[in-house]
Structures are given as structure tokens and as C-alpha cells.
Chains A and B, each alone.
Chain A
Amino acid sequence: MDVFIQALGAVFNPLSAVLVIVGTLFGIVCGALPGLSTSMAIILCLPFTYTMSPDLAIVLLIAVYVGGACGGSISAILLKTPGTPEAVATTFDGYPMAQKGQAGMALGLAVTASSFGTIFSAIVMLMAAPLLAKVALSFQSAEYFALGLLGLSCVTSIAAKDQLKAALSVILGLMISTVGIDSINGVERFAFGQPFLLNGIHYITVMIGAFAVAEVFKNIEEYRHRDNTLQQGSVSIELMKFGEMVKMWATFVKASVIGVIIGIIPAAGGSISSLIAYGETSRSHKHDAIKFGEGNPRGIIAPESANNAGVGGALVPTMVLGIPGSPVTAVIMAAFMIIGLRPGPLLLRDQPVLLDTIFLSLVFAALLLFFGGRFVTRQFGHILKLPYPLLGTLIIALGLLGAYSFQNSFYDVIIMFIAGVGGYLFDKFKYSIPALILGLILGDLVENSLRKQIIIGDGTAMGFVTRPVSLVILLMVVFVLAWPMFSKLMGKRKSSAA
């Protein structure tokens, strides 16, 4: 208890309150700008922490982390440009909802879900960090492979309209993910002697191109065919009633649980957990009045709860084992080292206050998001009132910025435009861009872990079924893939019985 009170004093004082506000806002802005990732935001803050006490430094960095995890949804909802990879799934329903004129509601839901996910994961982290760290270690190559497959199987729910075209899109995504130096043998694949292809085609650039740039192309085309402005409907920034949100508590909790579990696993991250949470929610609420992909509120709650729940989740192995659970926590760990802390299994023994300080910083930042953020971020909704020529230019400018600043490379900008044209054609011919991105994100994980497990197993693939966790996940994959057929069959039987 002493330790907790000590941490309380460190976190709740005027100076740290200022830092939380500044940090969260800075995180939101960086998160909202595609290409300026949360890890970059934390690196930009690092020089300021040199002169701070360790407690204050942690408060600031955690606030930036929470803000960044939430900020990505703003551009995802308003501009169909996920600001961070974690926000890909938020575009599926967030953007349609904003297009219906309910931008404020979509943003409010995203912020609420983000703060819920953060607090949920913070509590789980405080209660069970050492136990959860063991769970993280039970995930090895075999389990990563199974998890990657589970992520891929979500395609059945995120692109349910035309399963065949969705499957083709996933396969194309998987194929693109093989470009570059392969991660097991170091062989160049499909690089055609071009150095910029050696690192592969990253999903961030493709994502910006295929979502945002393609959307602009499409809108420009429609704009030319229509004389009036595109955004005729009024833009509402009304929030959803609190009571209505409470009714969907189950979605909040389920997505947060998924987010925490996937967050603690070192090689998986918020982008995978939000996709799986979205897939699972859309599967279990298939019969909602508003269809998924057309602005269903649960389609925003699920990915946003999940990706913010990953914040607390990813901090677990970082602190308990010294193994960062995500790229962002890797930077936070580096920051700890600069502050003078030694991350590793002994960190919590040597620094018992640390866990409580981080917990309180998370809760503090999340509460700020909930009470302040909802009202601030929904003001971003006004951006949709811009005439489309301006808005479209803005989106392309942001996309350029994002693609370039990702690795400070101009080649990424070229790839972004190619992806833009590709995404436009995909949309025209009703192929699924989300499915393609899913394949691109997971292709690497699936291939790498499959091949590693086979090396580890001395050339056999038995490990996938003899390891219990892997087997359970693989059975879940079978269930998810078989579910649509199964439910169709059940439906038929019912109707024939009646």
C-alpha cells in the first residue's frame, strides 16, 4: 500500500497533470497524422525527459502512448486514412458512419472505446502482470502461426459479400508480403535488383494509398459527374447517448480481452488484435439492424477497445521480462534505459513503485481522454464541412507526408500512388482492400513462424498440433472458417422444419 501511495503522489500533482494533458494531446495529433507513428512521437519527447525525474518522464511517455493509440482513429474515421496501423479496422465502420453525417458520434465512440480499453488493460496489468508474462512466453513460433491464421480467417467476416473475391484479395496481399529479403534465408524475392524493394513493401504505405488516395480518386470521379458538392448532408458532431453505449458493454469487454491477450504477445500487435476483435464482433452481431461496413457502432467500439487494451497488454512483458510487447514499448524500454532504469526480469523487484506509477499514468491519461477527449476530438468532425476539392487535396497531402516520413524514403511515395490506383480499381471491381491489407500485414508473420517452427521441429510440422495452445487456436480457425457454412445449414434446416 505504501508503494501505491508513493506512486499516487508521483502521478497526481499539478506538474504531471500538465504533462498528461500535453502528452495525450501530442499523442493524439501524432497518431492522427499517418506516418508519424506513436513510436516517433515518443522519440520526439525523449529529449525533454532527460531533465525530468523518472516518475514525470514515465507519466509523459505513457500519456503520449495512450494518446497515440487513440489518435489513429480520427483520420481513419474522417478521411479513411488510418493514422496508425492499429486503426485499419476502425475505417471499416467509422468512415461510413462519418459519411452518413455522424462524424461526431463515430469519434466519440472511438475515444470512449479507447479510454475503456486503456483502463481495462491497466487494471489487468496491475492485477496479473507476472502471471500474464508467463502467457506471453507460451507463445512461440507454432502459436504465432496459428494466431496469424486466425487473423486471416477474419476475412470471412470483414468481407462477407463476395467470399471468392475476398479470398483472392487476401492471396494477393500474402503474395505482396513476400517481396524483399526473406526473413529466414536472406534470399531476395521479387526485388528485380531494386534496392528499395529489399525491405519489402510495407503495409503502411499500401494502406495509405489503397484507402485514402483511392478514396480521393473515387470521390473526384463522382464529383465530376455531379455538379453539387459532395458533402450535401449536414455534419453532426452529436455524441451518442451514454445509456446507449452502456448497452453495448459486452462488445467493449470482449474486444478489450482480445486486445490485452494479443497485446502481451511480443510479435503480435494492436493491428492484429483490432482486426481479430472486429472480425469476432461482426461475426457474433451479424444480424444487427445496421450492417457491418455501413456504420455499425460496434464496428468502431471493437477495434478501438482492442487496440488501446493492447497498450496495457504490451507493457506487461516489457516490465516483467524486459521484452517489449510492441514497437512502441520497445522505444519506451529504450527510454527507461536512458532514464537509468534497467529493464529486465528484476525491474519490478528493484523498482516496485514503477508498476503503480505506470498504472496510474494509464488511468490518468484514459480518464482525460474520456472526459476531455470526447469533446475535443469530435470538433475534428468539422473538417468534413470543407469543400471536397480542399479536403481531397488535404488528404493527398497528408498521405504524401505519411508515406514519406515512414522511412524518409521517396520510394514509399511511389508505392503509395501505385497502391492508390490499385485500390481504386479494387473498389471498382468489388475486390476487398481490407482483405488485401490483412494478407499483407499477416503474411510475414504466418510465413516466418511457419518456417521457423519447421526448423525448430527438425523438419517436421508436428509442433503445430502437439503444442496445446497452438492446437486450440487452430481449432478456433477451423470454427471461424466453418461457421458461415454451418449457420447457413442450420438456417435451412430450421426453415424446412417450419
Chain B
Amino acid sequence: MRLRNVITAGAIGVFLAAMAGGAFAQNYPRRAVEMVVPFGAGGASDIFARQFSEISSKYLGAPITVVNKGGAGTIEGMVYAYSAPADGYTILEITPSLPIVEARNSSSVKFRAEFEPIMRVQADVQLFGVPKDSPIKSLDDLIAFAKANPKKLKIGGISPGALDDYIANGFAKAAGFQWSYVPYKGASVLKAAVLGGELDVYQDKVISFMSLVESGDVRPLVVLADKRLDVPQLKDVPSSVEKGINFTQGSWRGFVVKKGTPADVKKIIIDAFQKAYDDPAYKEVEKQQMTDILPGYLNADEFRKSLDAEVENFSAVFTELGLVKK
């Protein structure tokens, strides 16, 4: 008998709670929020999402569970977030890969039309360098050699038709030369190819680049940024803009929710993420990963504008490379 009473009381309790929830829609979040990472577990974007979600769940007042949906080159993660209801319980982590998918027209779900930006949290700087025993000593050497020997230089990167491909070809286009982009399967094989002498030119984000510069295995040639970096070991490396090459693309990481998410829910997420971004614990993470060198933060409106501009640039280069799906 007692058991039944308990069950009845419980049922009434749940019912009342549900009523209360219905009456106050802004009572968000009432359960765990899912963060969709469109990459496999263990990569830089995954580690970032896990660290950031841990800090921001404190401010959101609900646990954030990270779900990896790494299939189909970010398309599966995006489609998964797209098929969830627009209630703020599904947040999608994004990197330049998603606007690239849109620019290359490789998914039927149009990224910018279906998602609304929350915040761009951090940006990475990309560098070019050469192995230490390379005859190329400076960016001028590199450009002179590449102009004299079109397509002779080999630059590596991860995956065809992805960010590294865009950066390699976009930079060459802006500087007016040609080289061959060789796609690798992952960062480790790429680094091994550089250290083992298979590639002429190495590109990577600053955190991965630094360790090879410090050990003297790689000579940095150029930073893809507006100005030189405020890092002691890299202070003599010219920036692309100072060399007259107007190309500064790097990677970045941010968050979006599905279009149609109620404005008040969106505001709660933005506020929580803003507090997490300002948290000293997060600043510590940025310092460790060296993502604090260039300001990467953009609020929702700025983020939307930068996405629009990027998709346009991506479209132009990938169309030229013949990588846009008809």
C-alpha cells in the first residue's frame, strides 16, 4: 500500500513540475544540454569542446554532455543537430569546416540558413615553415623559387578540400604563385612527412608549430596574420600582411544553435558562455593551447558577418580548384 502512495505522490510531483515548466517557458535549462562535436574524440576541437563545456555548465546551471558525431566530414554532426528540436538543448560546435561544407555545396542542409550563431570563442593562427635543412631561408626565397618552378614545391595539409587546402591555395593565389598541395590523413603523419623530408613546406597552427620551432627542426617563414605574433620565439617571423599578401585565414572554434530557438533561451546560453569565456579557468586553457595570441572572440552578430565573408572566400577558391559540387 505504501509503495503505491509513494508512486502516486511521485506522479503528482512530476505532473506539477511539468505544469510549472509549461507555464514558465524561460525555465531553461531543466535537463542536461547536449553539445554536438562534429569531429571524433581526442582532436583539438573535441578537447576544446570538453573543456569549455565543463566550465560553462557551471554558469548554465545544467550539465553539458559532449556527443561526438564525427561521420561524413562534419556533415553527420551538423545533420544530427539539425534534426533535433530548436529548444536550446542541442548546441553545435563549429569550425571553418562547416562553412566550407556549405561553400562546397556538399550537404543538402544549408548551414547558415539552418543555424544561428551563439559566439565565436577562439581563433588559431596558421604558420608556414620549412624543414631546417631546406635551402629556402625566407618567404621571399620561397616565393621566388615557387614562381620560377610552378607546382614544384610540395606543401602538406590535412584532407583535400578542407581548411588546410584552402589556406595553401588561397595564400598562393594571393601571393601570385603555384605549389602542389598534398593531403595527409592526420596531423601526426603530416609532421612525420615534414621531419622525414618528404614535404618542402609545413603548415600548422601555432601550438603544434611551436614545438618544432623550439627544437630547431622547422624554420618559420610567415605568420598568416595582420601583424607579427607576440611570442618571443616568433617575433622575427614576418606576417603575411606586412609582406603585402592580404591573406590571414586561420582556424577558429565557436558555437551555434538551430534556427528557431526561442530568443530568451538563446540569451541564457549566450550569457552562460560569455561568463565561461571570462572565467579565469578558461583563460588558463587558452594560454596552454596558445589560442590567446590573436583575439578570436566574436559576439553573435559579428560571428554571423564573419561567416558570410568566409563562405564567399571559400566559394571563390574552391570553385577555382574544381571542388564545388554542382
Residues in chain A within 8 A of chain B (CB atoms): 39-40, 43, 46-47, 136-141, 181-186, 188, 195-199, 266-267, 317, 321-325, 327, 330-331, 334, 337-338, 340, 342-347, 407-409, 411, 448, 452, 455-456, 458
Contact = CB atoms under 8 A, between A and B. Distances in A.
B160 A345 contact: no
Given A43-B41, A195-B79, A267-B189, A342 B73 contact: no
A258 B224 CA distance: 42
B106 to A, nearest CB: 8
Which has the most chain B C-beta neighbours within 10 Å: A338, A340, A408, A455?
A408
Nearest to A458: B152
Across the A-B interface, give the 6 residue pairs with the lowest CB-CB distance, nearest first. A344-B211, A345-B215, A186-B160, A186-B161, A137-B196, A198-B72
Interface in B276-326: 288-289, 323, 325
Interface in B191-241: 191-193, 195-199, 208, 210-212, 214-215, 217
Interface string B153-193: 01000011100010000000000000010111111110111
B258 interface: no
Given A183-B185, A346-B215, A322 B191 contact: yes
Contact of A344 (B180, B183, B193, B214): B214
Interface residues of B, number: 55
B183 A184 contact: yes
A342 B289 CA distance: 10
Which has the most chain B C-beta neighbours within 10 Å: A136, A197, A331, A340?
A331
A191 to B, nearest CB: 9
B188 A266 contact: yes
Contacts of A455: 154, 180, 182
B41 A39 contact: yes
Contact of B211 (A136, A198, A199, A346): A346
A379 B30 CA distance: 44
A456 B116 CA distance: 42
Given A266-B188, A337-B288, A338-B47, A140 B182 contact: no
29 contacts: A46-B50, A140-B192, A141-B193, A181-B160, A183-B159, A183-B160, A186-B160, A186-B161, A196-B71, A197-B72, A198-B106, A199-B71, A317-B188, A317-B192, A323-B188, A325-B188, A334-B42, A334-B43, A338-B47, A343-B211, A345-B212, A347-B211, A407-B69, A407-B70, A408-B67, A408-B68, A409-B76, A452-B182, A456-B199
Contact of B191 (A197, A323, A409, A448): A323
B75 interface: yes
Contacts of A337: 47, 288-289
Contact of B192 (A40, A47, A137, A448): A137
B274 interface: no
B107 interface: yes
A81 B159 CA distance: 31
A331 B41 contact: yes
A184 B160 contact: yes
Interface in B50-85: 50-51, 54, 67-73, 75-76, 79
Contacts of B198: 140-141, 456
B288 A340 contact: yes
Given A139-B196, A456-B182, A195 B159 contact: no
Given A195-B75, A324-B188, A452-B184, 18 more contacts: A39-B41, A138-B196, A181-B73, A181-B160, A184-B183, A185-B160, A186-B160, A266-B189, A321-B192, A323-B195, A330-B43, A331-B42, A334-B43, A346-B211, A407-B70, A408-B67, A409-B69, A411-B71
Nearest to A325: B188
Interface in B112-170: 152, 154, 159-161, 165
Contact of B72 (A138, A196, A452): A196
Contacts of A345: 211-212, 214-215, 217
Nearest to B66: A43
Contacts of B54: 47
A195 B105 CA distance: 12
A140 B193 contact: yes
Contacts, number: 140
B3 to A, nearest CB: 31
A349 to B, nearest CB: 9
A346 B67 CA distance: 34
Given A323-B192, A325-B188, A186 B323 contact: yes
Nearest to A444: B185
B211 A140 contact: no
A196 B76 contact: yes
Nearest to B214: A346
Given A452-B182, A455-B154, A139 B73 contact: no
B191 A40 contact: no
B42 A330 contact: yes
A330 B71 contact: no
Nearest to A265: B192
A138 B192 CA distance: 9
A198 B70 contact: no
A324 to B, nearest CB: 5
B196 A39 contact: no
B195 A137 contact: yes
B305 to A, nearest CB: 28
Contacts of B185: 183, 267, 448
A178 B59 CA distance: 46
Nearest to B154: A456
Contacts of A267: 185, 188-189, 192
A344 B212 contact: yes
Contacts of B161: 186
Contacts of B43: 330, 334
Interface string B23-53: 0000000000000000011111001001100
Contacts of A458: 152
Nearest to A345: B215
Contact of A195 (B107, B188, B191): B107
Nearest to A141: B198
A32 B186 CA distance: 27
